[in-house]
Amino acid sequence: MRRVTLFLNGSPKNGKVVAVYGTLSDLLSVASSKLGIKATSVYNGKGGLIDDIALIRSSDRF
């Protein structure tokens, strides 16, 4: 299991820590629920698109 912190795009505040399991689609579903939006993509803190769950490390910030 990996834990990451999710933020709304462009906002450094009100992050939500979540556990990453399964697929990228699973993460998008969790992000949608936790952030109250319809998440369609995940970007790292430098704006890089995450397109594979294998790229995610524990303690990453998105």
Residue 57 CB contacts under 8 Å (≥ 6 apart), including other chains: 2
Residue 46's Cβ-side half-sphere holds a number of Cα atoms within 13 Å equal to 1
Residue 38 CB contacts under 8 Å (≥ 6 apart), including other chains: 32
Extents of the domains making up the chain: 2-55
pLDDT score for 60: 85
Q: pLDDT tens-digit profile of 27-59?
A: 999 999 999 999 999 998 888 999 999 988 888
pLDDT score for 20: 92
Token pair, residue 60, equals: 């990453």
User: What's this model's pTM, rounded to 2 decimal places?
Assistant: 0.87
